[in-house]
Amino acid sequence: MPNKINVFNSQTIRSHWDPEQEKWFFAIVDIVGVLTDSPNPRKYWSVLKTRLKKEGSELTTVCSQLKMQASDGKKYLTDVADTEQMLRLIQSVPSPKAEPFKLWLAQVGSERIDENANPELTIDRAMKAYLQKGYSKEWINQRLKSIEVRKELTDEWENRGVKAGKEFAILTDIITKAWSEKTVREYKEFKNLKKENLRDHMSNLELVLNMLAEATTKEISQEKQPATFDESKIIANEGGSIAGNTRREIEAKTGKKIVTRSSAKVLLNSDEPNELS
């Protein structure tokens, strides 16, 4: 994907979306320029890098470089930071403009500590966040249920020796492909999503079918007790296929597609037609 320029208070921050890593990368000198109003943000970053190295910070060693377009229209290798690295950078910049970000990070950190002590707070926070975005209480209840179903499935996978991370992602892709005819990445691209959570952009029926696929996979896995990852892959396809058959039956009866390009914005603010072509 080509570089994108974001505007922040009439200043620009060059950014790049990496679809393989599913990460945004931001030009560090642009971030420094916005936060410090330095006439020479490149020099400021050079001095800051030296200080961070002396302090033992890993930030200067983990940051990578990408070719980004400069003001002269040419592309040059530029130090970039992903979202986590960008937030760490902001914490290191002694500037009044950085202070609101630092206060926000402190607040988020405090909330996470409280939620670790009392997990119910996580549910309350999620409920409030979805309500603020305009979701209905019915949809929110469905979404929270989908989280429970997903957790039950991942617990079952762990019991069968499936490793979190890559293997979870592979099985999830198999389930999603079997019921929706799209991998998770294809599904997100279809809805024009990047970092957004796919399930947050599903309709009620999409959520229900996704839950059916995952719940069915869990039940089959508990019954068959797969001993290998390859056996779990077969079960993931079986669970997803059952939901896929249900999807096709509903579409045949209603004449409408269940998997559509509708994003959360469309789902909340319009009745977009989705007849079968």
> What is the rounded average pLDDT of the residues 18-36?
86
This prediction's pTM: 0.68
105-147, pLDDT tens digit by residue? 888 888 888 877 777 777 888 888 888 888 888 888 888 899 9
> Residue 258: what pLDDT?
93
Q: Which residues of 78-90 are buried (b: 16+ CB within 10 A; e: fewer)?
A: bbbbbeebbebbb
Name residues whose C-beta falls within 8 Å of residue 72's C-beta, 6 or more positions apart in sequence.
none
For residue 196, count other CB atoms closer than 10 A to its CB.
Answer: 13
Cα–Cα nearest to 207, from 133, 267, 167, 158? 267
Which helix (H) or strand (E) element contains residue 62?
helix 59-62
156-183, pLDDT tens digit by residue? 999 999 999 999 999 999 999 999 999 9
Q: Which residues pair with 256 in a beta bridge?
A: 275
Please give the torsion angle defined by the CA atoms of residues 75, 80, 83 and 89, in that order, rounded to the nearest 10 degrees: -140
Beta carbons of 91 and 104 less than 8 angstroms apart: no
> Residue 184: what pLDDT?
94
Q: Which residues pair with 80 in a beta bridge?
A: 27, 64
188-225, pLDDT tens digit by residue? 999 988 888 899 999 889 999 999 999 999 999 999 99
> What is the rounded average pLDDT of the residues 83-100?
85
Range with the poorest average pLDDT among 72-81, 101-110, 236-245: 101-110
CA distances from 54 to 49, 50, 57, 81 (A): 9, 6, 8, 20
- Every domain of the chain and the residues it spans: 4-113, 119-269
